[in-house]
């Protein structure tokens, strides 16, 4: 391989890395999402494993909400299951599409329960966004989309709001305390619940203004956010089913579920409406752990870039291994003697030596001797025209060759051809 080819190969690798290499996201490293298979701090693996260990039927939803409400060929619902519980977190990494929501409504109205754990009164790291407004507003829009309940923030007039404060991460997560309503079945055995906020947050309450949209709801408990209080749990009936909104998003994650009475609250919410054959679903799909093709998720998957790197590495190794590095060696031009020897060898393989020598001598004589002379006279005439030891040796070779042809002896082609070349140079 010459230097130009090596340079092109290196340039191809650089271009491939620029085009296909992993790009750093706006938030740095990939965030841990609240999914049932993740055992890291913000995952839900502990809660899912605890339910399985207790004998509950636990499944992960990896598709659209339509999987909860299958339909026949005519578009009619064929699902009959009741007493199921679906746990989803807001904000969603992949927001539910409008085509999914009718299936979710049908599923609820059959007597199932949706628990929406929304990052409103806390701001955990997985609730993506820049600043309090972006984080909480995104969670609020997802909660309202799923439950029909709108929330609004509680402002403290004595407090000066820094618009950039919400984007500054705490050095250590801040505790957010939920204070339950004593006596309600959801809070049986629950004295105190703790959530953890990685960023500053506001206090959020249900929007109680007359013109605000939303169904009938029951508000339970409060959340202490600094000097302000937000609503803790909101219950929205929907025919035979219901939506339960928990307004702190980190409360059931791995880092929090073992603290205070979080696990008791989780168990109460799940078992309160779970039927004898009910299924506890974890909505992993809308947090990014989906079986649906997602180009954005594929682009974030490091395995894609490892595969591309391995393929390019193998190609580069093949390029280097099949050819030698360095400049291509110059091919030397064959000298006249080597050319003559090669031509003579070719003739020797296809024509008998005697015939080849006879043909070469006749052609040489016809080119240089005058007509009307005998062969011997023409040879001697032209050979006598050149002098010198080199010419004498060449002429002697040709005479010996003619004598060998006349007497039937074996004759070699190469010396005859070289002698003719020498005489041709001297005569011309």
Distance CA 95, CA 372 (A): 108
Structure tokens at 14: 């650089």
> Phi and psi (nearest 5°) for 389?
-60, -35
Distance CA 326, CA 139 (A): 62
Distance CA 63, CA 40 (A): 23
Q: What pLDDT was estimated at residue 208?
A: 72
Distance CA 70, CA 81 (A): 11
State the number of CA atoms in the 13 A half-sphere of 335 facing the CB.
2
Q: What pLDDT was estimated at residue 130?
A: 42
pLDDT string in tens for the chain (428-residue length): 556 566 666 666 666 666 655 555 444 456 889 999 999 999 999 999 999 999 999 999 999 999 998 876 666 666 777 899 999 999 998 888 888 999 999 999 999 999 999 999 999 999 865 444 445 556 678 888 888 888 999 865 455 455 545 568 899 999 999 998 878 999 999 999 999 999 998 899 998 765 444 556 889 999 999 889 999 999 999 889 999 999 999 999 999 999 999 999 999 999 999 999 999 999 999 998 887 655 665 676 777 788 888 888 787 777 776 655 555 555 555 566 666 666 666 656 667 778 887 888 777 777 776 666 666 666 565 555 666 777 788 888 888 888 888 888 888 878 888 888 888 777 76
Q: What pLDDT was estimated at residue 154?
A: 85
For 28-63, the pLDDT digits (tens) are 456 889 999 999 999 999 999 999 999 999 999 999
The string of DSSP codes covering 194-246 is EEEESS---EEEE---TT------EEEEEEEETTEEEEEEEEEEETTEEEEEE
Closest among 193, 169, 162, 189 to 179, alpha carbons compared: 193
pTM of the model: 0.64
Contact 404, 346 (CB under 8 A): no
SS3 call for 422: helix
Distance CA 141, CA 146 (A): 9
Sheet containing strand 193-197, strands side by side: 57-61, 279-283, 85-90, 113-118, 241-246, 228-238, 218-225, 174-179, 193-197
Contact 94, 312 (CB under 8 A): no
Structure tokens at 247: 């307004």
SS3 call for 417: helix
**Would you state the CATH architecture of domain 34-288?**
3-Layer(aba) Sandwich (3.40)
Structure tokens at 67: 């999987």
Q: Count the neighbouring beta carbons within 10 Å of the beta carbon of residue 249.
A: 29
Residue in this structure with the two tokens 């006249």, named with its chain if needed = 336
For 344-356, the pLDDT digits (tens) are 666 566 677 788 8
Structure tokens at 185: 């079945």
Closest among 280, 420, 287 to 364, alpha carbons compared: 420
The string of DSSP codes covering 365-376 is HHHHSPTTS-HH
The string of DSSP codes covering 279-328 is EEEEE-GGGT--SS--HHHHHH-HHHHHHHHHHHHHHHHHHHHHS-SSPP
Contact 86, 105 (CB under 8 A): no
Q: What pLDDT was estimated at residue 117?
A: 97
Structure tokens at 57: 């039927």
Torsion sign across C-alpha atoms 251, 39, 48, 115: positive
Those residues with Cβ within 8 angstroms of residue 126's Cβ, 6 or more apart along the chain or in another chain: 31, 32, 33, 34, 42, 119, 249
Torsion on CA atoms 356, 357, 363, 369, rounded to nearest 10: -170
Domain edges within the chain:
34-288, 336-427
Structure tokens at 246: 């928990």
Distance CA 263, CA 284 (A): 20
């Amino acid at each position: 391989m010459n230097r130009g080819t090596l340079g092109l190969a290196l340039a191809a690798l650089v271009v491939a890395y620029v085009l296909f290499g992993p790009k750093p996201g706006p938030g740095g490293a990939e965030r841990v999402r609240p999914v049932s298979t993740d055992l890291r701090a913000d995952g839900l693996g502990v809660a899912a494993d605890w339910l399985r260990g207790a004998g509950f039927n636990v499944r992960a939803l990896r598709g659209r909400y339509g999987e909860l409400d299958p339909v026949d060929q005519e578009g009619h619902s064929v699902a009959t299951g009741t007493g199921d519980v679906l746990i989803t977190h807001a904000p969603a990494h992949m927001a539910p599409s409008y085509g999914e929501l009718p299936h979710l409504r049908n599923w609820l109205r059959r007597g199932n329960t949706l628990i929406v754990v929304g990052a409103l009164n806390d701001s955990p790291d997985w609730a993506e966004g820049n600043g309090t407004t972006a984080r909480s507003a995104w969670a609020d829009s997802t909660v309202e989309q799923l439950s029909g309940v709108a929330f609004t923030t509680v402002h403290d007039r004595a407090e000066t709001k820094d618009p950039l404060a919400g984007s500054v991460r705490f050095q250590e997560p801040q505790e957010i305390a939920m204070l339950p309503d004593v006596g309600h079945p959801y809070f049986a055995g629950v004295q105190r619940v703790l959530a953890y906020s990685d960023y500053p947050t506001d206090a959020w309450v249900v929007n109680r203004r007359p013109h605000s949209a939303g169904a009938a709801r029951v508000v339970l408990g409060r959340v202490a956010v600094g000097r302000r209080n937000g609503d803790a749990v909101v219950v929205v009936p929907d025919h035979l089913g219901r939506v339960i909104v928990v307004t702190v998003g980190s409360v059931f994650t791995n880092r929090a579920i073992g603290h205070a009475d979080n696990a008791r609250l989780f168990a109460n919410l799940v078992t309160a409406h779970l039927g004898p054959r009910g299924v506890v679903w974890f909505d992993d799909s809308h947090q990014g752990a989906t079986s649906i093709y997602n180009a954005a998720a594929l682009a974030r998957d490091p395995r894609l870039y490892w595969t591309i790197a391995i393929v390019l590495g193998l190609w580069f190794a093949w390029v280097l291994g099949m050819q030698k590095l360095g400049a291509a060696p110059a091919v030397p031009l064959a000298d006249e003697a080597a050319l003559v020897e090669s031509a003579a060898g070719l003739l020797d393989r296809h024509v008998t030596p005697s015939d080849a020598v006879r043909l070469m001598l006749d052609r040489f004589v016809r080119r240089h001797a005058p007509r009307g002379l005998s062969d011997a006279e023409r040879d001697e005439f032209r050979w006598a025209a050149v002098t010198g030891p080199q010419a004498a040796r060449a002429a002697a070779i040709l005479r010996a060759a003619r004598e060998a042809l006349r007497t039937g002896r074996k004759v070699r082609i190469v010396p005859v051809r070289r002698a003719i070349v020498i005489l041709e140079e001297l005569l011309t």
